[in-house]
Every structure is written in C-alpha cells, then in structure tokens.
Amino acid sequence: GGFTADVSNVADRGRVTMAVVAIDIGLENTKIAWLEQKNGLQLLDAFLFKTPYLSAAPRKDLSQIDPEAFWKEIAARIPLSRVKRSQIGIGLPSNLISTILVSLPKMGTSELSSAAIIEAKRKMIPASTSEHLFEWSIAGESVSANVNKYVVVVIRTEKGFIQNILDIFKPIDVIPSLIIPSCCAIPALIPKDAWGKDEDMAFIDLGAGNLNISICRSGRLVLTRSLGYSLKDIATDIGGQLGITKDEAESIIMEEGIPLVDFDPKNKVAIADEIMRQKYDVGRDLSAASGHAINPLELRMLWQAHIERTVQELRRSFIFYKEQSEGRRIERIYCLGGGSLVKNLSPVLSDLVGGQLQLMPPFSGLKTAKVNIYDEASGSAEFLNSAVSIALSVYAKSSKIPVVNFLPAELRRKEAASKRNLVLFAAGICLVFIFTLVGANVLMRRGFLQSSISAVEAQLNSFKNVKDHLDELSRKKDNLNRQLAKFAEIKQNLDWNILLKKLSLSVPQDIVLTQIVIAKGEILSEAAREGRLESKAEDKTLRIRINARILADYEQAQEIIENFKAAMEKTGYFAKINIPPLGLEEIVVSEAGMPSENSAITRPRTREFSLEAEVVQIDEKK
C-alpha cells in the first residue's frame, strides 16, 4: 500500500451529492460497489456473486447473461429503486478491447480525435470494420524532429459487446452513465500524488478467465494485453496431474498457494528424488490424513511451469512497451484480482521479474457506512477493487475529468437531456414553491406596511427639523475648522523681521550682498532647475542662499568671510552653513624679490562668493 485512494478529490470537485453503483462483470463472478457522496465519499456496500448465465448458454460471455437473474442478485443487496436513482458505471472486460499508441502533432480536440482514430484504423490488426467502436485519450507528450506531439492511446471494441451490455439494463429500463474498460478504470485507485512525474505502472490481473496486463502512465492507460490464460487453466492442469477435480485443485491453490521450498526449481532430478523419498518414507504418507493433502514440494513443481509462463508474458509485455515507447520502463507493478489471493504469488513473481511488485490494498482510503463491510467481503475484498475503481471513474466523469466512455453518443445525449429535464423540473417546483411563499408573505405584510407607512411619514416630518438644525451646526463646524487651520498656518510662519535683522547685524561692512534667496527645499539656479529631469521627494526644510562681493586681497577676504560665518552661527538662526572656498590665484612677486612680512602676497580685487544655510524655525528656537 503506502497510499490511500484519491477519493476526496473526485468527490469534492463535483459538489453534487449522488450515489453510484459500479458493476464489473467477470467470467465467473460479478463485482458490485455501491458508493455515495455524503459528508465525503462512503462505501455503502460491496459484494460479489456468481455471474448468472442462461440455462442453455453454449458459452460464458456477455451475450449469454440472464438479465432477470442478474438484477435479482443485485436487488437482494441494493433496492432497485435506489439503483435507478443512482449513476451506474459498468466495466468492459479487458479481453474485449485492443489498444494502440499513435503519435500525432498537437492540434485541436476534434481534429485530434479524427486523426487518432484514422491512424488507428490504418495500423490495427486485425483490420477495423464498421462494427468497431473507438475511444481515445491522451497518454502524454513527446518531441520528435523539433515537433511537439501528443502520444494518444486509441481503444477499440465491437458494437456487439456494447449492445450486449445495454441489453442487460433493459429489464429495469435504465441507461448506464459510463461504460469503461476495466483496465482504464483501475488507475483511479492510485491517487494523483502517488504517481511520480511521468511514471509508468503495470497492473497484473490474473483472473478466472484471463491474464490481463495493463500499463498506465500518469493515471492513463497506455497499453493492455489480455491473454486466454487464467487461474482456471492453472487449476485444471494441476488437478489433472494430481488426479483430482478442478474445484478440488482450486481449493488447494487458495489454501496452500505457492509453497516456498529450499530446492532449486531447475534441479528437477534432485527434486523428484526428494518427492519420492518424502512420499514413501515411513510415517510420512501425506495422503492418509486427507484426500486433498499434497506434498508441498510436489505442489511447488506443479506451479513452476505456470510461474515461468506468467513471467514470460510479463517480460514480453514490458519489452514490447519499451520498444513502442522509445525506451520507457515500468517503475511499479501492482497485483490485483483473483491472483492477489494466491499465497506467495506476488513475492515469487517479484523475485523473477524484478522491480517493485505489491498487492493493491482493498477499499483503500474509503470510509465505510457499515463497520462489518470488511468481514462480509472477507476472502474476496481484493476482487472488489475493480468495481470501486469504476465507481471512482463515474465520479471523475461527473467532475468533468476526461474518462474513456463507450456509451453510444445518442444515449449520452439522451442521458444529458434526462438530467437537464430533471434539473428543470426540480427548478420549476422550487420556483413555484418560492413564488407561493413570496405571494403569501406579500399579502400578509401588505396591511402591516400600509399602517406603518403613515407612522413613518409622521416621524420623518419630526426628523426634518432636527436634520435642518444638524445641517446648520455642521456648516458652522466646517467654518470654525477652516479658521483654526488658518491660525495654525499663521502660527507656523517665521518672524521675518527678526530673521532679517539678525542677518543684517551679522554682515561685516566689507561685504556687499547681491542676492538673498529664502525657500523650502533645495535652492537651484534657473539652469539647474531646467536641466533636472526627475523630481525628488518633497523637502520642507527652509534654506537661505546668499550671493555677495568683497573688495580685498585673498587673505583678507578669507578672514572676513570666516568672521561672517561665525557671526551667522552665533545668532542661532542659521545652521549647516556652507561657503564654497574662494578660487586660488598666483602670488604676486615684486621686483625687490620676496614680499616683506607685512606686505600682501595677492592684490586686492572684487571677489564674489556664495553661502548656503538652513534656517532654524522660530518654534524650534523656543
């Protein structure tokens, strides 16, 4: 196991409560699963019964089933009234279909359907006729010669097989919702998250009538082989060699399975000697106690030929798939059906075939409506997995998940129309009921509303005066808020008189101011403003920029400017004062040589400089 079936996904996506009856008709036994979506997906019942055939049936197949006896068996566990109200899914035996893989360029759904079926008709052997039906599904994608392609599996069956199934439903006048090949439904038991990316799995169903080998990729059938080799053949062969009936041999197979022995099956001489020694050794006459008792080593050797044939067919199928799929390999193998009940069959096959071979756990992940449902199905639970998988496929179909469905197109339209009519009928009843309730409610409340309207109008008149008074108060409040906002704005303004007075007292007499700019944010020249492309975030800092001139030599000018800066800082109204340094110039050398100690080394001239600083707000000073 290691996982639970992905039942919640298909149940939740539909969001429509419904019951499903799933039917899987086998050569010897018919499996039934009854599920209902009610507070999650529940298994209401699961059982099997001997497939009933007509008394004069020359062979066992779908055309020879007795419909009356068939539905009588089902009605003993599920009332036919419940069956008719349920969605019904039925499995098409794997031996009645054939498959082929075709690779086609990507195209629309309708074009892909036509192209896939035409390609399958051209390649399938034996040749297709007008009596064949086709369904298809996308198995994956591939790339060939830089062309993206779909890998499509096309499934073929005969119209007669489908008609045989529909004939079974005539006595109860019901149309099934889904006719799906059993091998296409089995992957539904594996949840999506349990499939590896692009992983291939094989399912081995050794049943009473056939050995079915199905290979699936990411939950979709890719290849299936149905061989006319089964447990019935094994029991017949073992019974013949032991001199007992087929039924007695089947009992031994179910009870003993495949005995595990220490001898090498290839050393047949040593094994024959050991069997003879055990048979005729004193006190070891195994036939004395029971007519069905058998030497384990002898039973193991009778199994050997059938084990080798099964392994050979598995390897042949895997090699064929590897060639068809350009080198793909099987990752996991699951054993189900009657073969899964044979003791030690799975481990023996796993050792010989290789890979991870395991049993498919029965009813995995399903809630059950009856606590004893496992006890009732004891000894046959593994058989019922195929029916459960068909039920899950019906829920997937109702959730708009693509599934293979061989139900004829005209019956699909009839089913859709009946569902639509049922929905419309139910909707009509609901509407009539709703309109009746609404009309009665209107009549009852009409008188009450009329008497209430007068009272409400009187209250509205009294409320009108109150409303007018509230509107007047609201207007006064708005005017007051506007005035308060203006006062707050005035309060934040600077006292420009004090600021300019402090600035004028700080300017030395040797400095002539040419320009003063006070503004919020960065102060730029006209050219700089025109050249800036990107706008910066708003800067509310108040700044001052001063352009000035001074007539003095370099040393005197530098000293006067520093005194000016110190005087501005001392006022406390200016911070972060920045004065770019004056440009350097050549030292004047007189004809007498180096200048004296008190003489200037640069000539006096008019020098321009600028100053930038942040203005400290009045409220910050306080």
* pLDDT tens digit sequence for 459-494: 777 777 788 888 888 888 888 888 888 777 666 666
What confidence score (pLDDT) does residue 459 get? 77
Tokens of 399: 């959730």
What confidence score (pLDDT) does residue 91 get? 95
Q: Taking 50 as the threshold, does the pLDDT of residue 14 lie above it?
A: no
Tokens of 411: 């019956």
From CA 291, how far away is CA 252, in angstroms rounded? 11
What is the domain range of residue 564? 496-621
Query: Domain check: are 170 and 280 in the same one?
Result: yes
Helix axes 296-324, 268-280, angle to 10 degrees: 150
How are beta strands 178-181 and 87-92 bridged, if at all? parallel
In a domain, 475, yes or no: no
Residue 24: pLDDT band (50, 70, 90) is very high
In a domain, 469, yes or no: no
Q: What would the mean pLDDT of 183-196 be, rounded to a whole number?
A: 85
What confidence score (pLDDT) does residue 173 get? 92
User: Are 321 and 328 within 8 A, CB to CB?
Assistant: yes
Residue 287: pLDDT band (50, 70, 90) is very low
Number of neighbours of residue 309 by Cβ within 10 angstroms: 15
**Helical H runs in 50-187?**
67-75, 80-85, 109-123, 159-168, 182-185
> Which position has the higher pLDDT, 435 or 558?
558
Residue 73: pLDDT band (50, 70, 90) is very high
What confidence score (pLDDT) does residue 272 get? 73
**Upstream peptide bond of 126 is cis (omega within 30 degrees of 0):** yes
Whose structure tokens read 């008792």? 293
Q: Taking 80 as the threshold, does the pLDDT of residue 580 lie above it?
A: yes
Query: Domain check: are 396 and 500 in the same one?
Result: no
**Helical H runs in 257-371?**
268-280, 296-324, 345-353
What percent of the chain is modeled with pLDDT above 70? 82
- Give the end of a domain, one of 369, 388, 407: 407
Query: Domain check: are 508 and 393 in the same one?
Result: no
Number of neighbours of residue 69 by Cβ within 10 angstroms: 15
Among 105-114, 372-381, 507-516, 582-591, which is the least confidently predicted range?
A: 372-381
The Cα-based distances of 349 to 223, 227, 264, 310 in angstroms read 20, 17, 16, 8
Query: Domain check: are 357 and 503 in the same one?
Result: no
What confidence score (pLDDT) does residue 124 get? 92
In a domain, 92, yes or no: yes
Query: Domain check: are 377 and 507 in the same one?
Result: no
What confidence score (pLDDT) does residue 374 get? 61
Among 193, 177, 178, CA closest to 8: 193
Q: What would the mean pLDDT of 584-595 be, rounded to a whole number?
A: 64
Query: Domain check: are 385 and 243 in the same one?
Result: yes
Q: Taking 90 as the threshold, does the pLDDT of residue 76 lie above it?
A: yes
From CA 288, how far away is CA 292, in angstroms rounded? 10
User: Are 222 and 325 within 8 A, CB to CB?
Assistant: yes
What percent of the chain is modeled with pLDDT above 90? 32
In a domain, 355, yes or no: yes
Tokens of 45: 């019942």
Mean per-residue pLDDT of the chain: 82
Among 405, 404, 411, 395, CA closest to 175: 411
What confidence score (pLDDT) does residue 295 get? 78
Q: For residue 165, give the amino acid letter.
A: I
In a domain, 278, yes or no: yes
Q: Taking 90 as the threshold, does the pLDDT of residue 81 lie above it?
A: yes
Count the residues in the chain: 622
In a domain, 418, yes or no: no
Among 157, 177, 137, CA closest to 92: 157
In a domain, 301, yes or no: yes
What's the pTM value of the predicted model, to 2 decimals? 0.64
Phi-psi region of 26 (alpha: psi -120 to 50; beta: other; left: phi over 0): beta
Query: Domain check: are 91 and 220 in the same one?
Result: yes
CATH number of domain containing 29: 3.30.420.40
Give me the number of domains the chain comprises: 2
Among 145, 140, 152, CA closest to 115: 152
Taking only the tens place, the pLDDT of each residue in 396-431 is 988 888 899 999 988 877 766 666 665 676 677 878
From CA 191, how far away is CA 356, in angstroms rounded? 18
In a domain, 449, yes or no: no
Whose structure tokens read 């009588």? 72
Three-state DSSP class for 107? coil
- Give the end of a domain, one of 347, 382, 407: 407
Among 189-203, 256-270, 338-352, 532-546, which is the least confidently predicted range?
A: 532-546
What confidence score (pLDDT) does residue 15 get? 46
Q: What would the mean pLDDT of 109-132 be, rounded to a whole number?
A: 93
What confidence score (pLDDT) does residue 2 get? 41
Taking only the tens place, the pLDDT of each residue in 259-282 is 887 777 677 767 777 767 666 653
What confidence score (pLDDT) does residue 519 get? 85
How are beta strands 29-37 and 19-25 bridged, if at all? antiparallel
- Give the end of a domain, one of 407, 428, 443: 407
Tokens of 525: 């020249």
Q: Taking 70 as the threshold, does the pLDDT of residue 258 lie above it?
A: yes
